[in-house]
Each structure stands twice: as structure tokens, then as C-alpha cells.
Amino acid sequence: MSELTHLTLAQARDRLVKGETSAVELTRAHIAQVEAKRHLNAFITETPERALAEAEASDARRRQGTAGAMEGLPIGIKDLFCTEGVRTTAASKILDGFVPPYESTVSGNLKTAGAISLGKLNLDEFAMGSSNKTSAFGPAINPWTRRSDPAAKLVPGGSSGGSAAAVAARMVLGATGTDTGGSIRQPAAFCGITGIKPTYGRCSRYGIVAFASSLDQAGPMARTVRDCAIMLGAMAGFDPKDSTSVNLKVPDFEAALTGDIRGLKVGIPREYRPDGLSAEISEVWEKGIAWLKEAGAEPVEINLPHTKYALPTYYIVAPAEASSNLARYDGLRFGQRVPGKSLDEMYAKSRAAGFGPEVRRRILIGTYVLSAGYYDAYYAKAQKVRRLIAEDFRKAFETVDVILTPTAPSPAFGLDENTDDPVTMWLNDVFTIPTSLAGLPGLSLPAGLSSDGLPLGLQLIGRPFDEETVFKVAGVMESAAGFDVSPEGV
Amino acid sequence: MSLDISAVRAIATLARIELGEEELAPLAGELSNILNFVEHLSEVNTDGIEPMSSVADLSLPMRADLVTDGDIAEQILANAPEAAEGFFTVPKVVE
Amino acid sequence: MAYLIEGETGTWEIVIGLEVHAQVISNAKLFSGAATTFGAEPNSQVSFVDAGFPGMLPVINAVCVSQAVRTGLGLKAKINLTSVFARKNYFYADLPQGYQISQYDKPIVGEGELILDLADGSTRTVGIERLHLEQDAGKSIHDMHPTKSFIDLNRSGVALMEIVSKPDLRSPEEAGLYLTKLRSILRYLGTCDGNMQEGSMRCDANVSVRPVGSTELRTRCEIKNVNSIRFVQQAIEYEARRHVEVYESGGEIRQETRLFDSGRVETRSMRSKEHAHDYRYFPDPDLLPLVIEQAFVDEIKAGLPELPDEKKARFMAEYGLNAYDAGVLVAEKISAEFFETVAKGRDPKLACNWVMGDFFAALNASGKTIEEPPVTAANLGAMIDLITDGTLSGRLAKDVFALMVETGKAPGVLVEERGLKQVTDTGAIEAAIDAVIAANPDKVQQVRDGKTTLLGWFVGQVMKATQGKANPALVNELLAKKVQG
């Protein structure tokens, strides 16, 4: 293990700027770590040769004085982003052999900023899952283990589980994630790293394999708040190729980390304290509130009355959109085809063979809730409740500047747990989904360890396009938490 | 709301996913559970509420009417499981 | 004249509604930057968006929106300032996304109207239900391989306007008139070229029948994708008779999609479309509501050309044409322009007669289009001037016209070259008359005895003697004087 892999993204950047290391050196060190931690199955596709070639080009650019904001920094790309000339799978068999002839805007932006991609990271199939267990390439493994049972493998969370595991295991300085209902924040919490889902429209969705278009949003995952701020700055921006991308100037997120949160009002939603919330989660939340108070912010109890309807709303809206978004995987123009006597038989066989059980289940539910006679009762109803949920937040933000909640109701669970019932699995996202439905920015940062030695995350939620306040508050909490532990063996 | 086997079969046909007979009953159970779970929404009074299909509080941006794309037949066909003479090919469709 | 079907049990009327898919004239597709031109190499006008590749997103073409608004205004329809794109979900080989982006409950254009010009010169107003924008699908070709269908996505994503009429049409003839008029309006507006052969205008017909006097709407059948006006009429005629036969034999009509077989002149059920259609429309989350400003609509409105109905009314008022002639002349903008060039500063009725008569006959015979007319409007106008100033008689004019068609030369040149100028010199005509009188004293006597019908014979002789160039009016006048004394 190299000392270089223990730098944060910001530290590595600063060393590169000072000429104390090179992109090639950094890349070599991280490639070695990727190889050393291969048992975590964080990568679906490793691209070391490409990365080294890019690193050399990056060092050349730096010598010419044309370094970008992410120049020479090794990162990983969630395998949901299409990457030109590099196999893209969405962790599904149905995309077998698919090599995109185009690059997603976000991964392209990172490239333009000088970042070096080490490859494509594991995820739940089509980003549908909270454990990474639905990946057709086998689950990524959480580098963290329980003190009580170090041998038991734990999930890294999902869907951006490979991204979280790779960042936590120091294989990359940062990684892209996507978040539809918590897919950046929940794995960040499970793996003891920081991740932010920005406001819907902040990052372009062009070239990202779609799950639920009205919810999907890309964001960075890294080890510190500053790292996320740097990386989001490089990822974000208006894209005329995405009609839902917002034409706003990207602020200097790093500059928002002033450390001064005096007078800020922090909302503490009553509804996020359900009966049966684990004591450990409650405690870490209380600690977070205390840190903010000490720093001069003012906690304010708020109500988000429709919170408990967020999960059912999400599990109508997201599968409905997914059922339509995934119709293009038909074995005709790309991916896997299973022959059939007729066109319909070819479709049905290809899709049955290509999609795993969770994806199939969601397509079926989505198909059902949109079908004639059920649309109003399910889909239209959910879209109405969604407005009520968004309204709850809008009202809350009339009085508070940011909202603090736990990220997930539990720490990382075992690879063999929570397998019986899909609905139980979905409860993982109970604190992250409302934010997604409302399109708001949400950041998760590690706030402490459970009694069994597992990271616990807290979530900060901001006003639309006010990631700066979220980063500012997160920076203060990060300092207060002093979370400087690494997983065993890293 | 619970779904029976024939309902599951009909949905799967609509979604073009082949299911084995043995898969139908367990799926009917799972899907019914999900429907029961989402049915809590019926408790919410949504009279007079407009459905929210996007959080983006914007109107649709437009592009200029310029030919900026195409002429990439080779790339379009490059990933095709089956193609011939510049076309994608599928089992014959009979009208 | 009502079109009715005499059945065994009574008399039936037909209820017809038409859905026309009109390809929008634009350079690029509705949601991508690929070209729209017809007849390109397979899959050469396809972007990754049109081929439904992973992660690809639609961005709407501004011109397609303004073309839809323009068409709506041309149909005197309500323009909806906010409209919504929805996905229509179904699987088909030439539908790459697995859904068609269309508009469902919030189309860009609402109710409007279209005026039918009936054969007797009267008009009838037909309601337009709506117009919406949607993507075209690709093309499946079934005859290139024994066991495979070939897919070309060049059309995939091309903008279409679906224009839906109210069920106001009552006969195959009216359906034909509706399509003719709609095509005319679209071509005037420049929003669709109306070419049914190339598929840029396609028609689905919804047909049902009911006993005369009833106001119920019975089960309708949809006849898909009929590609000529004549076929639409034949399909409706066949389908309506089929319905009557089914009802009269005690059967029921099932709502279904049918295909017209132009070879057999019959419709048949499309079994492939039989199993449960469930399009699962929902607002496309990749697209936000389409919001346009009233000022944008007003600007388009201010730039609208004079449309066929207004032009027809003006031709009747300004030129004194009858409804039929005016209707024929305005059907195509270019023929109306041709007429107006010919008629400018001249006798409009004379101009109309020449355009509608000899000119259209020559046009048909030549097999050319009016874009390359057999006789230019300027030459035809100049020829009419020669008639008006007496240089040409009607008869000579017909000769000159034929020569113009043959040679493309200006009428003045032809008159000079061939000496076709009408003789109005009284002396020359008198000399010719005198010669005929001198040669036929017996016939002169007969006329003088009261057999005035013989005068016609004299006219003929004089014209013959002058090679047809004598002014017929003068000949008549002088003959009357000289023969009758």
C-alpha cells in the first residue's frame, strides 16, 4: 500500500500543483491498490492501460500549463455512465458486449477537467437496489467489517456500491455515483465516505443509462466534503443535450467551505424519528445537532408531514418510469439477444434472460401501475402525493436553511441479510427518498461508528441549487466529527 | 389489491418478459405485497392537487432546426446482435 | 346529396373521422439533429437518440413547434400555450425506444375547423378535434429475406403532426374532399409537402354506420395507413358496406384495427395488433411541459399566407369568378399565383377561361407540373392582350396557344413569324367578300329571298379566303350589308 492512496483528492491535487508527485505516479499507486483489493469486486471493468496513457497525457498538459480542476486525479466511473470505447454494462446481462460510441456528459466533463478513470464500477443492476446484490457481476463488498464478526462480508449499500467500496478502500480518490432514491447517500453512509446528490438538473443525465428519469441525478463520492465539492464542480453544468438540465452557472463549491455557519437555521424533522429507530442512529443524529449548535447554528424542529408516504410514492413513480426506460433493451440494436421464432418471442426471451429478478419485478410493477384502469389509482395518485412531499420541503425551507437527518436507518448489513422481502430492503431508503422526490440536494457524511465498528452517516438536505450551504454545513460537521478511521486492512 | 397468476401473465406479456409457469405464483405474491405496501397512498387527500411529473420548474428548452447528427450508420449498427446490408434484422414480422 | 347505403332492413349512413399523419417540413428530426430527407441510405440519417441508445435524451426542435402552431392557426384552431409530451409505450421492431413520444391529453393544438368545397359549389364545415406533435417510427421491410425483417431507422424520430377530425364526415366523397383540402392548406402553409406516395401524408380512417335518423355512434373500426385519397375512399366504402352486412345479419362489429388491401379492394383484420393494446401513456420525464408565449403565436399568425378559403372568397369577389372555378384555381398556391399573373390588368373571366380550359388541358397532356408550365403565365397573359386588342380572334388564339405549347415562343413573335395577325382592314375584307359574292350570284339571290341561314356559308368562305385571319365580327357585319344589300 502506498502513501499516495491515503491522500484525499484535495491533498493529491495540491501535491500535483506543487510538482511533488505526478499523475503517472498517482495512477500507478491506485492501480496497485485496485489490484490488491480486487476481492471487493468494486470494479466491473478495469482500464489500467488507458489510465496510464491518460496520466502521461495529463502530466504533459500540466507541463504545458493547461491543467484542469481534476488534472491527474485517479477516479472511478460508476458503470451506469456510458464511456466511449469502454464497455458499459449497467451491471446487467442484457447489455452484454455493449461498447458505447459516445461519452456521457458528466464523465466527459471529468475527462475534460483532467481526471484519470481507472475503470467502471460495480452497482446494482440498472441502479435498482440498496445492497449491490442485484449486480449481474456479483456484489461489491464493503471494505468495513463488524468488530464482532470480521469474517462476515457486508454489503457496501447501493446502488453505487462499487463506487463507495472503491473510495473507502482507497482504490480511487473519488468516484461518480448516481442517485435515484438514495443510491449515492446510502452507500456513502455504509462505507464511511462522503457523497452528494446535487439538485435535480445540476448535472446532465445525457449518456447515463436511465433508471427513473425524473429522479436520476449524478453526483460525486469521495472521502471528504472538500473532495466532493471539487469533483461536483467538475461534473456539473448546463448541457443542451439534456432538456432537464438547468442553465445556471456552476458556483465555486470549494469556496463555500468557509467554516462559518453562525446564525444558520437547521431543520430537524420530527417525522424522521419513527418508532423503532435504532438508538445508535438516534445518538449520532443528536451528536450532529450538538456539533452544529456549538458552531453557532440554531436547530429548529420542523414538520414534513407527508414523509411516510414518500416510500410508496417512490415505488410507484420509479418503477413506472423504469418500465418505459428499459423497453429499449430488446435485443435488437445492442446487447444480448436470445433467438425466438417471432419478434415477440425474441423480445420476451431476450428480456427474461437479460434482466435479473429485481429489475424484472420493478418492470412488472411499473407496467402494472401505468396500465389502463390503474393509472389514476397508482401513478397519477403518486404524482399528486409527490407534489405534497415537495411542498412540505418548500414550506420547511421558508424557516430553515438546511435540514439534518440520518442517512440510513441502520449501518451496513450482511451480504446474506434482508433478502426475503423486497419491501424490507426498500426501507433502507426511507430517509433519502423524500429528498429525491423533491429534487433537492442531499449529502451524506460519516459521523461516527456503531458499537460494532461500522460507519454511520448523517444527511444534510438543502434548498434547490443551494449545494453551497449544504457543503458549508457539511464541512463544519466533518471537522467536528473528526472521522479519521479507515476500514481494517486499508 | 392482490394479483392472481393470470394478471401476472398479462403484465409480463405487456412488458415482453417471458416467465416460466413456476415463476408466476411467487411473483404474484411478491407483486401483491408491493401493491399492498403502496396502497397506503389512498389515505392521502389529494383533491385539487396537480400531479407533479417533474421537479424542474422550467419550460422545455428548444434546439435550432439544424442537421448536426447522423451519417454514422456504421456506429449505429456496430453493437447490433444481427445486421445485414446496412439494416438491423429481426425474425420476420408477418402482418 | 347524402350518401346512404340501402340495406335490407333500412337505410344507413356512414360516420367517418380521419386521423392524418402529416410529416412536418423541417431540416432535422423532432428530438434529434439527424436529417429528414427522403430516400437516403438505410440507417444513415440516424443519431443515437433516434436509435434509442442507452442514456440518450430528446431535445425538441423549435421549428417543429412553430410548424405545428402554424398549422393550427391555418385550421383556425385553438393553440394551447402549454402542452405536454407523453410516452406511448409499445414494442415493435421499428420503434427503438420501446415508446413513441407523442402528446396525449394536452396536445399543442385544440379544436379547429376545415371547410369542404363540395362539387356543387357549396361548402360544409368539418370540425378538427386536435393536432399534436409526435415522432415517426422507423421502417420494417419484410420482403428482403425469406425469414427476416429488415429495419431502417431513417424515419425514426421525424416529426409528424397527427391531425384528428371530428366524426363529421358522411361519405367517401367528403373524406376525399377533406384530405384534398387539408393537403392544400398544409402546402399553402409550407408545413407538410402532402406527398402521399412518399408517405409524408398518411391517413387512418375511423368508420362506423348507423340507421339514418339515429344520432348514436356505433362501434368503429380503424383502417390504418392508407396511402392515397382514392384508396381511402374505397376503404371507407368497403368498410361501411361490411358493417351494414354484419348488422343486418344480426352480428356485432368488434372495435379493431384493419388493413386496406388495395389489390383486392377490401379491408381485413390486423391480427398482429389484436392482443390487448395498452399504451400506458404517461408524461415523458425526459421532457418538461412545452410552454410557448402568446407573442410567439401572434408572430406566426401575422406571417400566415392567404389561405385557400380566403383566396377563394377574394377570387370570387375581386375577379367575379364562380365558386367552382375559384375553388379549382386556389387548390394549389402555385396555380392561384399563375392565374393572378395572367389576370393582372386583364379581363379576369377571359383569363379564368384560358387557364381552366386550354392551359390545364395542355398541362395534363404535357405530364408536367405547373412549376414548369407548358406556357408561361406571362406568355398566356400577352396572348390574352392580343385577343383584347383585336390582333387575335378566338380562333386564331387557339392556334397561337398550340404553337406556344409547341415552341415555347412568345405569342407576339408567333403572330409575326406566321402572319397570324387578324385582318381588321375593312378594305381587305371587303375585297374578299366582293370576290365571294361575285363567284356565287345564285346564293346571294337565295339570301336576298330570305334564306338568311346561308350567311354562315358566306362567312366560312370569306374566312377561308383570308386563311382564317379575318376578324369574324367585321366579316359578319360587312357580309350582312353587302349580301342583303
pLDDT tens digits, C3-14: 999 999 999 999
For residues C332 and C400, membership in a common domain is answered with yes
ipTM: 0.96
Strand order in the sheet with A217-222: A43-46, A116-121, A74-78, A174-179, A217-222, A194-197, A442-449, A455-462, A402-406, A265-269, A298-302
Distance from the A277 Cα atom to the nearest Cα atom in chain B, whole angstroms: 20
Is C191 within the bounds of a domain?
yes
CATH number at residue C448: 1.10.10.410
pLDDT higher than 90, residue C444: no
Q: Tens digits of per-residue pLDDT, A113-151?
A: 999 999 999 999 999 999 999 999 999 999 999 999 999
C342: containing domain: 306-418
- Average pLDDT, rounded, for chain B: 93
pLDDT beneath 70, residues of chain A: 1, 419-420
Same domain (yes/no): C238, C366: no
Cβ contact A375–C98 (<8 Å): no
Distances in whole angstroms, Cα of residue A50 to Cα of each of A5, A57, A91, A119, A454: 19, 11, 21, 9, 35
For residues C258 and C139, state if they share a domain: yes
Task: Give the start-to-end residue ranges of the domains of chain B.
Answer: 5-41
Based on the fold, state whether residues C359 and C216 are members of the same structural domain: no
Q: Mark C147-176 as b/e (b = at least 16 C-beta within 10 Å).
A: ebbbbbbbbbbbbbbbbbbbbbbbbbbbbb
Q: Is C343 helix (H, G, I), strand (E, B) or coil?
A: helix
Total count of domains within chain C: 3
| Chains touching B (3+ CB pairs < 8 Å) | A, C
Closest among C319, C95, C224, C210 to A347, alpha carbons compared: C95
Q: pTM for the whole thing?
A: 0.93
Pair (C327, C350) in one structural domain: yes
pLDDT above 60 for B1 = yes
Is the CA virtual torsion C387, C391, C395, C397 positive or negative? negative
Q: Is C3 within the bounds of a domain? A: no
A214 to A219, A325, C105, C252: CA distances (angstroms): 15, 11, 20, 45
* Per-residue burial over A300-309, b = 16 or more CB atoms within 10 Å of its CB, e = otherwise: eebebebbeb
Q: What percent of chain C has pLDDT over 70?
A: 98
Note whether residue C184 is domain-resident: yes
Which of C300, C327, C355 delimits the end of a domain?
C300
In a domain, C2, yes or no: no
Q: What is the pLDDT of residue A258?
A: 97
Decide yes or no: CATH 3.30.565.10 for domain A3-255. Answer: no
Choice among C5-9, C184-188, C395-399 with the minimum mean pLDDT: C395-399
Residue with cell 380550359: C357
Interface of B with A in 31-70 (CB under 8 A): 31, 33-35, 37-44, 46, 49-56, 58, 60-61, 63
Which residues on chain A place their C-beta less than 8 Å from a C-beta of chain C? 81-82, 88, 90, 95, 98, 100-102, 104, 205-210, 212-214, 240-244, 320-321, 323-324, 326-328, 330, 332-334, 343-344, 347, 367, 370-372, 375, 379
Q: Class assignment of domain B5-41?
A: mainly alpha
Do C325 and C413 reside in the same domain of the chain?
yes
Predicted local distance difference test score (pLDDT) of residue A391: 97
Query: Other CB atoms closer than 10 Å to residue C7's CB: what's the count?
Result: 16
**Residues C46, C24 within the same domain:** yes
Q: Are C81 and C33 within one domain?
A: yes
Chain B interface test: which of C46, C81, C83, C225 (most B C-beta within 10 Å): C46
Of C252, C282, C300, the one marking the end of a domain is C300
- Would you say residue C423 has pLDDT above 70? yes
With 70 as the cut, is the pLDDT of residue C188 above it? yes
What are the pLDDT digits (tens) for A394-429? 999 999 999 999 999 999 999 988 766 777 777 889
Which pLDDT does position A419 carry in this prediction? 67
Given a cut of 80, is residue C464 above it in pLDDT?
yes
| Residue C364 belongs to some domain of the structure | yes
Between CA A219 and CA A178 the distance in angstroms is 6
Give residue B89's pLDDT: 96
Distance between start and end Cα atoms, chain A: 8
Looking at the structure, do residues C183 and C199 belong to the same domain, yes or no? yes
Tell me if C1 is assigned to some domain: no
Which pLDDT score, from 0 to 100, does residue C275 have?
56
User: Which A-chain residues 176-235 have CB contacts (< 8 A) with chain B?
Assistant: 200-201, 214
pLDDT tens-digit profile of C298-357? 999 999 999 999 999 999 999 999 999 999 999 999 999 999 999 999 999 999 999 999
Q: Is the pLDDT of residue C401 over 70?
A: yes
For residue A423, the model assigns a pLDDT of 76
CB contact under 8 A, A327 and C98: yes
Q: What is the pLDDT of residue C210?
A: 96
Check whether residue C108 and residue C233 sit in a common domain. yes
Among A174, A214, A78, CA closest to C282: A214
